[in-house]
Structure 1
Amino acid sequence: MGIESDILSDWHASAAALQWLQELGALDPVGEMPVDRYALAEREAPATRPQAAPAQPVGRPPVPASEPPVAVKVDPVAVAEAAAARATTLDALREAMAAYPHCDLKKGARNTVFCDGNPRARVMVIGEAPGRDEDMEGRPFVGRAGQLLDRMFAAIGLGRTNPDAERALYITNVMPWRPPSNREPLPEEMAMMVPFLRRHVELVDPEVIVVMGNTPATAILRQRGITRLRGNWTQAWGKPVLPMLHPAYLLRNPVAKREAWADLLLLQSHLQG
């Protein structure tokens, strides 16, 4: 009985110890030393296999990875030069200017102011930019300044409505769209329009060009200071050019009309030979 009671006592002690260990979480007794299951899991984790690239069709080169589109910088002057060069008639040039998308002045204008007068005229008058009246009507020089211009040239026998090319005028502006608040056109705005203006002169092929004001003097002669330039013949684009004071300036400074009259007589003398 002594031996059997000792065995039963050891068994009950072992069972109690095992139950106590199970309650502590030791459910897998596998050896005499403790095992760190977390470290074991990391060591036994299989290496991550690289994902295979999608198969390419046989006989075709691999498709390159897509890249973000690169913005193409547009040169507005180069676009204007190309559009102007393609115009072979005045109507085509008018359409090219109306379709030109790179000058923001177009967004605030009612009309594209292209020209007025007789395209066979000996004299081509180039002004600055449309004002409110010109923008409303779609023709250059129709406001107070335009009325004064008509009287000025009528004094030497020239007019925009004259069907006789010898006594006619052809009128346009550097800018076909009205600048906000009638401000002066910016240099970059003028640069966009110069190719169209030069093509305009080539198609009309006048005998004489009259530039009225600083804007056409800058665009054609690349000079400013119209009060200094006026009354002096010069050359540009293969044509004789006479700078004159703009009629709007004369309305603000009536005393300068004497100088404008002298310039008109100079033009008349040139046309008479």
Structure 2
Amino acid sequence: MNAEQLRQYLEYFRDLGITHITAPDASQLAAISAAPPVPEAVRPAAAPVAPIATPPPIVAAPVPMKTPVNDLVLPTLAPEGDTLARIREEIGDCKRCRLCEARKSIVFGSGNEKARLVFVGEGPGADEDAQGVPFVGRAGQLLTAMIDGTAAKDSLPLRREDCYICNVVKCRPPDNRTPLPDEMEICGQFLYRQLMTLQPKAICALGSTAARALLNTKEGVTKMRGRWQRWNGIPLMVTYHPSYLLRAYNVEAKKEAWTDLRKLFHFVLDDSKVHPE
């Protein structure tokens, strides 16, 4: 195939809209060479070529400066000016997870909205579901006795009504089972906002579920209790859940819980202590 034949083939394929071709191998080249030239009737007449006008000079538009990554303001999980009333309103008649199917009440939380100390439990039980208030059943009555009794023994000005109490999940799990991970995650956004709004001096996680939700840990209560942890910079103490202490054989655990609360209360009420020891 001479140069003129090759030019005719290229023009023909260009007219068909083909702009890219792959390099042929030796056998393909031999077949192309043996092919007859394209008849003149097949090829469309070449269109007249218009003269190319000189384009106007290109003036580059100013490029806006990019904002440095460090200056980006990311949305926060806790909106500015958040309040407990706003959080409760946004929860509404929550249908975000399966716990809504059998609940009677959304148990949001209760207590002093300016509390220095917040207790976080696992989830509502039957009594809490019926009344819409956290820790009002047998475990709640024991928690009240633990708070009031421990403070009274050390002559500390602290009672249950001075604290704020809430749970990891706001609806009662069926048969009081442990909340599932997705349920804890969905409700966790509201717990996070509650704690960020309250900004207490300290948090008390009651039991393993609350500790796991707040600290993202699988460590057991026995190993964690009595040691200071931190949640978003706020000192946190883990202790036993009152329902665990209701069992008659947990006498030693009751003594340990009392020790934990004493340590917690003295820190909360001592204005000279900015950080736990």
- TM-score (normalizing by structure 2): 0.64
User: Within the alignment, does 1:106 sit opposite 2:100 as a pair?
Assistant: yes
Q: Does structure 2 retain, via aligned residues, the 8 Å contact 1:234–1:241?
A: yes
Q: What residue identity is the alignment partner of 1:144?
A: R
Question: Is the 8 Å Cα contact of residues 116 and 171 (structure 1) preserved in structure 2?
Answer: yes
**C-alpha distance after superposition, 1:168-193 (max 9, x if no partner):** 11100011000000000001110111
Q: Equivalent of 2:238, from 231, 235, 243?
A: 243
The structure-2 alpha-carbon separation of the partners of 1:83 and 1:221, relative to structure 1 and needing over 3 Å to count, comes to closer
Q: Deviations over 1:141-198 (max 9, x none)?
A: 000100110111112142232xxxxxx1110001100000000000111011111111
Matches of 2:76 and 2:106, distance apart in 1? 19
The 2-side partners of 1:131 and 1:87 are apart by: 32
Say if 1:86 and 1:269 are closer, same or farther in 2 by CA, change over 3 A. closer
How many equivalent residue pairs? 187
CA contact (8 A) 1:116 1:160 kept: no
Q: CA-to-partner distance for each residue in 1:93-116, whole Å, 9 max, x for gaps?
A: 012223443211012100000111
SS at match of 2:214: helix
Q: Say if 1:87 and 1:93, in contact at 8 Å, map to a contact too.
A: no
- Distance of 2:239 and 2:140 partners within structure 1: 14
- The residue correspondences of 1:1-273 to structure 2 (distance < 5 A) are 85=79, 88-154=82-148, 155-156=150-151, 157=156, 158-161=158-161, 168-224=162-218, 225-252=220-247, 253-255=249-251, 256-271=253-268, 272=270, 273=273
Comparing 134-143 with 218-227, greater Cα deviation is found at: 218-227
Q: Take 2:179 and 2:168, find their aligned partners in 1: how far apart are those partners?
A: 9
Q: Which runs of 5+ in 1 are unaligned?
A: 1-80, 162-167
CA distance in 1, matches of 2:84, 2:130: 22
Task: Specify whether residues 188 and 120 from structure 1 end up closer, same or farther in structure 2 by C-alpha distance, changes over 3 A only.
Answer: same
Percent of aligned positions that are identical:
43
Counterpart contact for 2:124–2:135, Cα < 8 Å? yes
- Give 3-state SS (helix, strand or coil) of 2:165's partner: strand
Larger Rg: 1
Q: Which runs of 5+ in 2 are unaligned?
A: 1-74
* Residue aligned with 2:194, SS: helix
* Separation (CA, whole Å) in 2 of partners of 1:181 and 1:87: 37
Question: What's the TM-score once normalised by structure 1's chain length?
Answer: 0.65
In structure 2, distance between residues paired with 1:187 and 1:87? 29
Bigger CA drift: 187-196 or 172-181? 187-196
CA RMSD of aligned residues (A): 1.9
